[in-house]
C-alpha cells in the first residue's frame, strides 16, 4: 500500500517515523526525525530548567543549614527465627549490688550424663546448661559491689580449713514438692559438705551481709519449670567426683535464665577435714529428699 504525501510550503514539520521536506532539499534517509523549532520563550524555559539551582519565583528559598539535624529513629533489633532474645532483666537490682554464691562446680564428666537425663523433659521446663551446673553452698542475694573483695578474702581464708570432698550423686526430686514442682534437681552427698556450707554461711553473717536462710540441702539444679509441664519419673545416679575447690560465682539474670560468672576460686586442703572450725554450725542431715535453696521472687542458682 502506497501513501501519497503532499508538498507543504514552509519549514519542515515532524511526522512520526518520517520526515517531509519542503521540496528545497533531498528527501530524508532512514527514520531520522527533525524536531520542531522552538520559539524564544520555550527556549528560555528549557534553559532555566537545565540550570543546576532552579528557584521558583513563587516559592521561598529554604535554608537547611540552620535546621537542627533530626536523629534517625532506631530500628528495632531483629531476631532470627529460632533465636531467643537475650539481655538483662529488670529485677530491681542496681549497679551497686550483685547476686553472688559460693559453690562446688560440677565437672564435665558428671554434667554429661545429667544433660542426657534432661532430654526426658517435656513442656515448659528450662534446662540448666551443663557448664552452669553446680552445688550451691551459700547464696547472697544482694551484695554491695564494694564488699565483693571481702567475700573473695573469706573464700581464700576459709577454704584451706576444709579437706577435699568425694561428692556422690543420688536420686532426683522436686522443689517445693512433687505436686507443684518449680525445680527439678538431683541430690548430692559428701562427708564434710554440710560443715563446709555451714562455715561459709556463718562467716558471711559475721561480715554483716545478707544470706538466704533456707536450710542447706546439697543438690544440683537440673531444670526450672516455667509453665505447665509433665514431671519426669524418679531417676537415680551412681556417679561421683573429687571436689578440690570452692568457687565464688556471680549470678546475672537474663531473659533466657540466669548466667553464672566466676568471681573467685579457692583450693580445699587435700585429705579429710580433721575437725570442723568453731564457726561451723550443725545442719539437719535427715535422709529425706532435699529442698533446694530458693527465693520466692528471684531465680536462685
Instruction: List residues with catalytic annotation.
Output: 134, 219
Q: Phi then psi for 149, rounded to 5 degrees?
A: -55, -30
Determine contact, residues 131/181, Cβ cutoff 8 Å: no
Determine the Cα–Cα distance for residues 97 and 109; give it in Å rounded to an integer.
34
Q: How far is CA 211 from CA 15, 90, 220, 300, in A?
A: 97, 21, 19, 12
* Contact present, 110 and 239 (Cβ < 8 Å): yes
> What span, in angstroms and rounded, lies between the C-alpha atoms of 192 and 178?
29
Q: Other C-beta atoms within 10 Å of 265: how many?
A: 15
Amino acid at each position: 500500500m502506497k501513501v501519497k504525501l503532499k508538498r507543504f510550503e514552509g519549514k519542515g514539520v515532524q511526522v512520526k517515523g518520517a520526515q517531509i521536506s519542503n521540496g528545497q532539499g533531498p528527501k530524508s534517509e532512514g527514520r531520522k526525525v527533525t524536531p520542531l523549532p522552538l520559539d524564544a520563550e520555550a527556549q528560555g524555559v528549557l534553559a532555566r530548567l537545565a540550570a543546576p539551582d532552579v528557584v521558583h519565583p513563587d516559592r521561598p528559598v529554604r535554608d537547611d543549614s540552620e535546621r537542627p539535624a533530626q536523629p534517625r529513629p532506631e530500628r528495632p533489633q531483629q531476631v532470627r527465627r529460632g533465636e531467643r532474645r537475650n539481655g538483662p532483666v529488670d529485677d530491681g537490682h542496681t549497679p551497686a549490688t550483685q547476686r553472688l554464691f559460693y559453690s562446688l562446680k560440677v565437672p564435665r564428666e558428671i554434667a554429661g550424663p545429667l544433660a542426657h537425663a534432661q532430654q526426658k523433659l517435656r513442656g515448659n521446663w528450662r534446662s540448666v546448661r551443663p557448664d552452669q551446673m553446680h552445688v550451691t553452698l551459700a547464696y547472697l542475694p544482694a551484695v554491695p559491689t564494694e564488699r565483693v573483695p571481702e567475700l573473695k578474702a573469706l573464700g581464700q581464708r576459709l577454704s584451706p580449713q576444709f579437706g577435699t570432698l568425694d561428692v556422690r550423686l543420688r536420686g532426683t526430686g522436686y522443689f517445693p514438692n512433687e505436686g507443684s514442682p518449680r525445680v527439678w534437681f538431683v541430690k548430692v552427698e559428701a562427708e564434710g559438705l554440710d560443715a563446709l556450707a555451714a562455715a561459709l554461711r556463718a562467716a558471711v553473717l559475721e561480715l554483716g551481709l545478707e544470706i538466704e536462710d533456707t536450710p542447706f540441702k546439697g543438690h544440683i539444679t537440673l531444670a526450672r519449670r516455667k509453665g505447665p509441664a509433665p514431671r519426669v519419673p524418679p531417676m537415680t545416679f551412681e556417679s561421683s567426683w573429687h571436689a578440690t575447690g570452692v568457687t565464688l560465682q556471680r549470678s546475672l539474670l537474663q531473659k533466657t535464665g540466669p548466667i553464672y560468672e566466676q568471681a573467685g576460686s579457692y583450693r580445699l586442703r587435700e585429705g579429710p577435714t580433721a575437725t570442723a572450725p568453731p564457726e561451723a554450725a550443725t545442719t539437719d542431715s535427715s535422709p529425706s529428699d532435699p529442698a533446694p535453696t530458693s527465693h520466692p521472687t528471684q531465680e536462685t542458682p
